[in-house]
Structure 1
Amino acid sequence: MVDFDETLWLRNSTEEFLNSVRPRFLAAVVLQLIGVLKPWRVFQRGTPNHYRDWFRILAVLAVAPWSLWAWRRKAATLGPRLVNRPLLEAIQRRPEPGLVVVVSLGFREIISPLLAAIEPRLHLRESSSLRSGARLRIEGKAGALRRHYGDEKLRRALVITDSEDDRDLLDASAKPFLIRWPDAHSERAGLRPLMPFVYLNRVKRPGDNYLRNVIVGHDLPVLLLAYAVVSPQPLIATVAILLFLIAFFTAYETGYHENDRLGLLLEHKPKVSDTFHTLGQNFSPTFAWSLAILMAGVASLVAVRSNSWIAELFESAVTDLLAVWAAFVFFMLLMRVLFRWMNVVQPQGRIIPMLGLQVGRVLGFAIIFQPTIVGSLFCVAYGLSKWLPYVIYRFGGKGRDVPNHLNCLLLLTLFAGAVAIGGNPEAFYTWQSGLIFAYASARGTKNLGKFSSSLMPLTYPAKAAEAGATPVADRSR
């Protein structure tokens, strides 16, 4: 009994099939999207994910149904080329090669054309299928083979596999061989090109859920409060801002990729996650910028309808669209230049371009939408509150301990006071200003709950005070 994937055949048949789907871009979109949604969790939570590969194949076939037909043609040459030649020759030297059966958790529709091209006399006894789904993976190979051969014959069988997933079969056999073949390897399909935010979430900020916690949780509310609520058509402006934000970070990711790549080349102790070596080569800056520019065009089409201030400068609808589009592309290019500057200078010198990046990622949208004074101040306060932890980090401190939202509220209050003293207090007598201060206060107060103990006065232990000692907190400083 011989396992197929990475044993008799030196690749994973499921991944190779998914890699063969054309157009490749379409397969990448589907596989990365389904990897985020994880629909197989409806049937089974936790690990192992028996249903995952079944869902992946069905999703790809739903958009590219010709793929199985194309695979049969490709398998004729791919099967023999990647076969485990020493193992195949050992099987063929047996006087009765028909007594050798192939078992696999892979899918019959994919493996059968490969096996027919490798050695037609070999029989695929057990495998998954697109009709049975995860049945074999749930039952296990040993259970399925026991129904065909019985316990005694299964115990006397010689088993060759490379995977611990076949532990049930190895334990059932008196002659188990677990062999990792040096030429075998598996490469996950559908990772090139990486879709927007995949690099950010899985490579640059693994475990932080940066898309949800920062971009959607922090940046988007600031943009909506600063620009959308004062638009003549706030709902349309909201859609436009969301599309512009996706376009912006699709291009912005190229800076993160460059930061990791140059860090490995130029820095003595680069801070690069391990996933860079497995996923980094799948990131395509050309694809990212092409998609960002396309998305910016769609966003511009929506923004023109929400009365972008640029559109008011022209009379032609086409000219309006092109002007808004060109303005935002220029903004993305400017931010890319700042990111490039940050990536090539000394670590402490990076605080200067970082200031432009943090403030620009929210205030820069003013190139499309007209903000109020309070909206502009809010963007600057937010950008500075994100910049301060980076400055502290670059000079040896712990930036994660800084109360960002509290700092944003304090900076906004200081800016508002300065504007009011300067003779323009009426700028704050609007409902937009009320919303902004309410939002900043709510998030700042939440920070204050964790920070409030630091605002308490120092206390002297009774005995230490009698002896004239300094407070414990002072000595720790």
Structure 2
Amino acid sequence: MVEELNIVIKNQIECYKPNSTTTTIEAIKSASKDTPIILDFDETLLLRNSTAEYLNSLQPRLIGALLLRIFNYFQPWNWLPPSIRGKNSRDWFLIIGTTLLLPWTLLFWQNKAKQLAKDFSNKEIIAALNENNQADVVVATLGFNLIVLPILKHIPINYSQLISCRFWRGAIDRHKGKLQMVIDALGVEAVERSLVVTDSSDDIPLLAKAAQPYYVVWSQAKYTVPMNDLYLPFFYLEKVKRPGQKYLFKAILGEDLLIIWLSYSWLSYQPIIHALSMLLLLISFWCIYEVGYWENDLVAEKYEEKPVLSENYYNYQPISNVWQPWLWSFYFAVLGIILLVASQNKFVTANFSLENGKILALPLIKWISFLAVVRGCFWIYNYVNKRTRIWLYFPLQICRYFGYLLITPINLVGTILLVTQVLTRYMPYVLYRYGGGKMENWSQLPKRLLCCLVFVFILSALTVGSGDCSLILNQQALAILLWCFLQAGYRIWQEVRQIKPIYSDGTNQVAEKLAD
């Protein structure tokens, strides 16, 4: 049913595509006074999206960006009452939420709106409207009146009415839809004899109702993702590189961090402080490692015949200021090193002193130097061919898990866990590359089960070989084994359930017949 609806919408869009900007402008110029001209606002009369520009003007920008990140992650618009629940209320929730928390944004917006009107008004439409003085112009938008009005008053056109979403009741307006909003304001008869100009496929119902529908995408129009020029750790990873995978929580915090805690923090006399330091250093590491992901996409787009890029890649501005990740990384590194040194009881005095500064300097220099090496390795990885990348992926994984050895100790059990993780990440990658770079070759591998088996094998082999049962009979090893089995438990159960004799496996019977 959904596919059929999408086909219908696509066919309807095709009906309006022949309308060129030249044809549209001529129609506006020649419209009679009895033909209401209904103009879309965002990316039509204004060659930008007013809602996005407003969100991009939030001050302070860092707090604004964090708020947007939190809202977009938890999606509270899906918690609203059923009548206004869903993605139609997303923009309204973002506007009302950020405005209530950062109310001074409305003051800053007045100047920003004036500048937007000056820089991004659609000069062609303005000239056509001013030439047709008798035209009855109505601006209709699903944008919000408190955002649109400050812009519209600086656009030199005469309009009779602005139809837009209200601030407090914007969710209701958005769910009502533009067609119904326009009918409520103008009446059915006026809509049926109107000339409608819009760039949005969401306005198809309105176009279908109008006497003269013009579906036009203006070449100068551009949608800018709010706060897209401001770097936030993990944003590119979550939104662009691995959208929808929740990689931060599943792979980085849910896997890497636990492995680092079990390997390194377990040994500390102050494990909680040490664990916090490892968390901060992990974030510091990923601020730089993430730049490698961005660069990887950039290189793929530029040099590969069929680059594998997410749909979001073209919607989000790349990391334009490469120093921002380094600043974030350095900030988290300093905090992490302070906690790390504190967990090792190495501070000479309780307050800041030159001696304490010297104690902090060495591990910090080591860590920043290590990050520079990681960045260099990833750069080389990105600029060599795919086959060579197979061998460079291995040192990248070593850096990902063993780099902390430069500043904190580890024992044999922890080392075995790190070796296991490196191997079980590297082996699927080799299969992925030699399998033609198909993601299904990677995603179908039982990585957690493989990790469990490899750890048990290496630990058992070293225990038997050394004759030292303390390797396996200690709290750390038992905790790691428990974690491994919890991670792989469901997959182990799946594998056990499918065990059967070869003669009762239908797949094998078919294969034998084909072989004959």
Scaled to the shorter chain, the TM-score interval is: 0.7 to 0.9
Query: In the TM superposition, what is the alpha-carbon distance from 1:253 to its structure 2 partner?
Result: 0.6
User: Deviation string for 1:397-430 (max 9, x for gaps)?
Assistant: 7344433223323322332234322243323332
Give % identity. 30
Query: In the TM superposition, what is the alpha-carbon distance from 1:216 to its structure 2 partner?
Result: 2.2
TM-score normalised per structure 1 = 0.85
Query: In the TM superposition, what is the alpha-carbon distance from 1:118 to its structure 2 partner?
Result: 1.5
Work out which of the residue numbers 70, 94, 97 in structure 2 matches 1:56.
94
Work out which of the residue numbers 46, 59, 76 in structure 2 matches 1:9.
46
Work out which of the residue numbers 483, 487, 495 in structure 2 matches 1:443.
487
* 2:113 maps to 1:75: yes
Query: In the TM superposition, what is the alpha-carbon distance from 1:200 to its structure 2 partner?
Result: 1.6
Unaligned runs of 5+ in 2: 1-37
Distance 1:326 1:81, change over 3 A: closer
Distance 1:410 1:171, change over 3 A: closer
Worse-matched range after superposition: 391-400 or 427-436: 391-400
Distance 1:92 1:347, change over 3 A: closer
Task: Check whether the contact 2:129–2:157 (CA below 8 A) recurs between aligned residues.
Answer: no
* 2:230 maps to 1:193: yes
Q: Which amino acid aligns with 1:366?
A: L
Q: Whole-Å Cα distance in 2 between the matches of residues 342 and 350 of structure 1? A: 6
Query: In the TM superposition, what is the alpha-carbon distance from 1:152 to its structure 2 partner?
Result: 3.3
Residue in 1 aligned with 2:379? 340
Query: In the TM superposition, what is the alpha-carbon distance from 1:155 to its structure 2 partner?
Result: 3.5
* 2:86 maps to 1:42: no
Matched residue SS, 1:117: coil
Residue in 2 aligned with 1:166? 203
Work out which of the residue numbers 458, 465, 477 in structure 2 matches 1:415.
458
* 2:343 maps to 1:306: yes
Q: How does 1:288-437 map to 2 (within 5 A)?
A: 288-307=325-344, 316-396=355-435, 398-420=441-463, 421-437=465-481
Q: Which amino acid aligns with 1:35?
A: N
Q: Whole-Å Cα distance in 1 between the matches of residues 344 and 274 of structure 2? A: 8
Query: In the TM superposition, what is the alpha-carbon distance from 1:249 to its structure 2 partner?
Result: 1.2
Q: Whole-Å Cα distance in 1 between the matches of residues 316 and 345 of structure 2? A: 38
Query: In the TM superposition, what is the alpha-carbon distance from 1:226 to its structure 2 partner?
Result: 1.5
Query: In the TM superposition, what is the alpha-carbon distance from 1:197 to its structure 2 partner?
Result: 1.5
Task: Check whether the contact 1:460–1:472 (CA below 8 A) recurs between aligned residues.
Answer: no
Residue in 1 aligned with 2:289? 252
| C-alpha RMSD over aligned residues | 3.5
Query: In the TM superposition, what is the alpha-carbon distance from 1:375 to its structure 2 partner?
Result: 1.3
Distance 1:157 1:345, change over 3 A: closer
Q: Whole-Å Cα distance in 2 between the matches of residues 266 and 172 of structure 1? A: 46
Residue in 1 aligned with 2:271? 234
Query: In the TM superposition, what is the alpha-carbon distance from 1:252 to its structure 2 partner?
Result: 0.6
Matched residue SS, 1:213: helix
Worse-matched range after superposition: 303-312 or 367-376: 303-312
Task: Check whether the contact 2:229–2:317 (CA below 8 A) recurs between aligned residues.
Answer: no
User: Deviation string for 1:83-130 (max 9, x for gaps)?
Assistant: 223322332334445x32222221222222222221363244321232
Q: Whole-Å Cα distance in 2 between the matches of residues 181 and 349 of structure 1? A: 44
Q: Which amino acid aligns with 1:326?
A: I
Distance 1:12 1:270, change over 3 A: closer
Distance 1:457 1:185, change over 3 A: same
User: Deviation string for 1:198-219 (max 9, x for gaps)?
Assistant: 2222322234332222112321
Task: Check whether the contact 2:347–2:356 (CA below 8 A) recurs between aligned residues.
Answer: no
Residue in 2 aligned with 1:467? none
User: Deviation string for 1:123-146 (max 9, x for gaps)?
Assistant: 443212323332321223343444
Query: In the TM superposition, what is the alpha-carbon distance from 1:324 to its structure 2 partner?
Result: 3.4
Task: Check whether the contact 1:11–1:186 (CA below 8 A) recurs between aligned residues.
Answer: yes
Matched residue SS, 1:208: coil
TM-score normalised per structure 2 = 0.79
Task: Check whether the contact 2:225–2:315 (CA below 8 A) recurs between aligned residues.
Answer: no
Distance 1:410 1:2, change over 3 A: closer
Task: Check whether the contact 2:39–2:45 (CA below 8 A) recurs between aligned residues.
Answer: yes
Q: Which amino acid aligns with 1:289?
A: W
Residue in 2 aligned with 1:91? 129
Matched residue SS, 2:279: helix
Q: How does 1:80-159 map to 2 (within 5 A)?
A: 80-97=118-135, 99-119=136-156, 121-159=158-196
Distance 1:400 1:76, change over 3 A: closer
Matched residue SS, 1:281: coil
Worse-matched range after superposition: 162-171 or 245-254: 162-171
Query: In the TM superposition, what is the alpha-carbon distance from 1:43 to its structure 2 partner?
Result: 1.6
Q: Whole-Å Cα distance in 2 between the matches of residues 266 and 162 of structure 1? A: 33
Equivalent pairs, count: 468
Q: Whole-Å Cα distance in 1 between the matches of residues 317 and 152 of structure 2? A: 34
Worse-matched range after superposition: 418-427 or 240-249: 418-427
Q: Which amino acid aligns with 2:314?
A: H
Q: Which amino acid aligns with 1:91?
A: L
Task: Check whether the contact 1:102–1:125 (CA below 8 A) recurs between aligned residues.
Answer: yes
Q: Whole-Å Cα distance in 2 between the matches of residues 284 and 152 of structure 1? A: 53
Task: Check whether the contact 2:96–2:168 (CA below 8 A) recurs between aligned residues.
Answer: no
Task: Check whether the contact 2:390–2:429 (CA below 8 A) recurs between aligned residues.
Answer: yes
Distance 1:182 1:413, change over 3 A: closer
Distance 1:336 1:73, change over 3 A: closer
Residue in 2 aligned with 1:223? 260
Task: Check whether the contact 1:79–1:115 (CA below 8 A) recurs between aligned residues.
Answer: yes
Distance 1:111 1:95, change over 3 A: same
Distance 1:117 1:243, change over 3 A: same
Task: Check whether the contact 1:339–1:357 (CA below 8 A) recurs between aligned residues.
Answer: yes
Query: In the TM superposition, what is the alpha-carbon distance from 1:340 to its structure 2 partner?
Result: 2.6
Query: In the TM superposition, what is the alpha-carbon distance from 1:388 to its structure 2 partner?
Result: 0.9
Query: In the TM superposition, what is the alpha-carbon distance from 1:221 to its structure 2 partner?
Result: 1.9
Distance 1:74 1:199, change over 3 A: closer
Q: Whole-Å Cα distance in 2 between the matches of residues 49 and 301 of structure 1? A: 43
Task: Check whether the contact 1:128–1:136 (CA below 8 A) recurs between aligned residues.
Answer: yes
Q: Whole-Å Cα distance in 2 between the matches of residues 384 and 474 of structure 1? A: 37
Q: Whole-Å Cα distance in 2 between the matches of residues 416 and 193 of structure 1? A: 45
Q: Which amino acid aligns with 1:56?
A: L
Distance 1:47 1:170, change over 3 A: farther
Q: Whole-Å Cα distance in 2 between the matches of residues 31 and 95 of structure 1? A: 42
